[in-house]
A and B are shown apart, each in its own frame.
Chain A
Amino acid sequence: MLPAPGPEPVVRLRQVTKRFAGGIEALAGLDLIVGPGELLALLGPSGCGKSTALRLMAGLAAPTTGSVERRLPDPHAVGFVFQEPTLMPWATVERNVALPLKLLGLPRPEIRRRVGERLERLGLGGFARAYPRQLSGGMRMRVSIARALAVRPRLLLLDEPFAALDEITRWRLNDELLDLWRSESLAIVFVTHSVYESAYLATRIAVLSARPGRIVGEIAVDAPVPRGPEYRGSEAYLRTCRAVSARLAEALGEGGGP
């Protein structure tokens, strides 16, 4: 199904708080809606509960109070990309990508077909039999993304996926992510602490306050996708960066910072 422009959200967080066993309050009164086909950036200072929000959306954690609603054709139509590539070091690239499909019990030929397709799509065609340690950081992250996409998710969650990569690799993967997003009709939520990354990638940016996190501002980014390298130098991009930076500074100020 094509992403409906209608208001039916993929994920809705209502007044979510999350308190951990140690008494740390990660989120306080978080309201957030992720629409279908949206590319939402969760931007905030370190330790503001961004990752916690992402885990709640994935169903990997339950909110202390409030509710998390997900509307997906299939509860497993979710992809998650962690900060680290998180691959099985003992398995080849193709077996890493096949893991979620095996868990969902797909027939073997279908698994092979989908894995091949995903590897091609992410430029990993020649590395199906390689082991993760033989790959560079950027390639490993590609494998991780291929694995997340193998289940044909309607919702893709990324937790600072490119933070550990060098600038050039990060930019290239940013473009590839935009490319995927355009062709796959899926909603993407990605967590970042980079103003520039969020301004380049997102269609909407939600700015979180320092811990306990809640949304302190939302900025829509209208620039059309694809956004080539020239977009990084455009007036629209710089304007977005300035607006986002200002919000972020406010958020930090509110959190009791300097």
Chain B
Amino acid sequence: MRRFLANVLPPAAVVALALAAWEAVVRLRHIPEYLLPGPLRIAAALRDDWPLLYPSLLQTLAVTGEALLAAAVLGGGLAVLLIQAKWIERSLFPFAVILQVTPLVAIAPLLLIWVKDVRFALVLCAFLVAFFPVAANTTLGLQSADHHLLDLMRLYGASRWKVLRYIRLPSALPYFLGGLRISGGLALIGAVVAEFVAGTGGAASGLAYRILEAGYTLAIPRMFAALALLAGSGVLLYALLSGVSYLVLRRWHESAVRREASSASPAG
């Protein structure tokens, strides 16, 4: 409990201080709320506009989640395909890189024209930015398997499938999870960018549309409220993926193993 407090109290205090300073500056300098609302005003907007913001939040999160899931499955799948042969990697990897380096805002309009279903186009856009870290990291992980373990597999005549299942996939797991953590944030950004470009109205509108709309109507506190929701979602997503990573790896991987000052290990 004491350790928990020691871990949580200082950062919480710093955040509280920063918010208080913000509020103080806004009040003392009489900054109008259409330029910069204080945290209390933003909290009020969050409360008042909740019926409007909440469905948008769900919409954006759904797009993010679906894109991330697709990135995990297809990114991981592509990685497994890439390591099957050097020529496959050489011929397919450039496509992945090209997709990665092309700014999403530049291709999102095209995608929105090509794909009739706007919802699907949004997921596709978010997927395109989210999938590269998973694919690249997993490829690296699959290739980083201990070569002596691979020798051992050869010694006992293991099939390619067994090598993948027993050695390569577990070796790649920490890399995959690391990639997924990066992809989580990127999927959210991708979803927001795509929503901006799409600018769809009506029921199926996410937080980005709320921000656009608030900008047009100078409802700046609501804009900040939507921003706060986005930032909060990003942080939560990252924490969630880090938690999953910890749970999966805690028994064996260095990144997740808790260390004590002097680790006790049985003598040999």
Residues of A in contact with B (beta carbons under 8 Å apart): 55, 58-60, 75-76, 78, 80, 82, 84, 86, 88-91, 99-100, 102-104, 127, 131-142, 151, 169
Contacts and interface: CB of A to CB of B under 8 A. Distances in A.
A140 to B, nearest CB: 7
A117 B253 CA distance: 28
B268 A80 contact: no
Contact of B268 (A78, A102, A139): A139
B140 interface: no
B166 interface: yes
A86 B156 CA distance: 15
Interface in B159-173: 162, 166-167, 170, 173
7 contacts: A80-B152, A82-B148, A88-B167, A133-B252, A134-B265, A134-B266, A169-B268
A91 B253 CA distance: 11
Given A90-B170, A103-B162, A136 B268 contact: yes
Contacts of B253: 89-90
Interface residues of B, number: 25
Given A100-B156, A103-B158, A86 B265 contact: no
Nearest to A78: B155
Nearest to B146: A86
A151 B152 CA distance: 12
Interface string B166-187: 1100100100000000000000
B110 interface: no
Nearest to B158: A103
Given A80-B152, A89-B253, 11 more contacts: A59-B155, A76-B155, A80-B155, A88-B170, A90-B173, A91-B252, A103-B158, A103-B166, A104-B157, A133-B252, A135-B265
B155 A58 contact: yes
B177 to A, nearest CB: 12
Given A103-B162, A136-B266, A86 B157 contact: no
Instruction: List 8 A-B pairs, minimum CB-CB distance, nearest first.
Output: A138-B268, A139-B268, A136-B268, A86-B148, A103-B156, A90-B170, A82-B148, A89-B252
Contacts of A133: 252, 254, 257
B149 A103 contact: no
A102 B173 CA distance: 21
Contacts of A86: 146, 148-149, 152
Contacts of B170: 88, 90-91
B148 A103 contact: no
B251 interface: yes
Interface of B: 146, 148-149, 151-158, 162, 166-167, 170, 173, 251-254, 257, 265-268
B265 A136 contact: yes
A135 B265 CA distance: 6
B151 A135 contact: no
A86 B155 CA distance: 14
Max count, chain A CB within 10 A of own CB: residue among B148, B153, B162: B148
Max count, chain A CB within 10 A of own CB: residue among B149, B155, B167, B257: B155
A99 B170 CA distance: 14
A90 B252 CA distance: 5
Given A86-B148, A136-B267, A140-B268, A151 B257 contact: no
A132 B252 CA distance: 8
A135 B268 contact: yes
A169 B154 CA distance: 30
Contacts of B149: 86, 88
Contacts of B155: 58-60, 76, 78, 80, 100
Contacts of B252: 89-91, 131-133
Nearest to B163: A103
A171 B257 CA distance: 31
A135 B266 contact: yes
A104 B159 CA distance: 11
A114 to B, nearest CB: 14
Contacts of B148: 82, 84, 86
A86 B253 CA distance: 15
B262 to A, nearest CB: 14
B268 A76 contact: no
A80 B151 contact: yes
Contacts of A134: 265-266
A139 B156 contact: no
Contacts of A104: 156-157
Nearest to A165: B268
A76 B173 contact: no
Contacts of B158: 103
A103 B167 CA distance: 12
B265 A151 contact: no
Contacts of A80: 151-152, 155
A104 B158 CA distance: 8
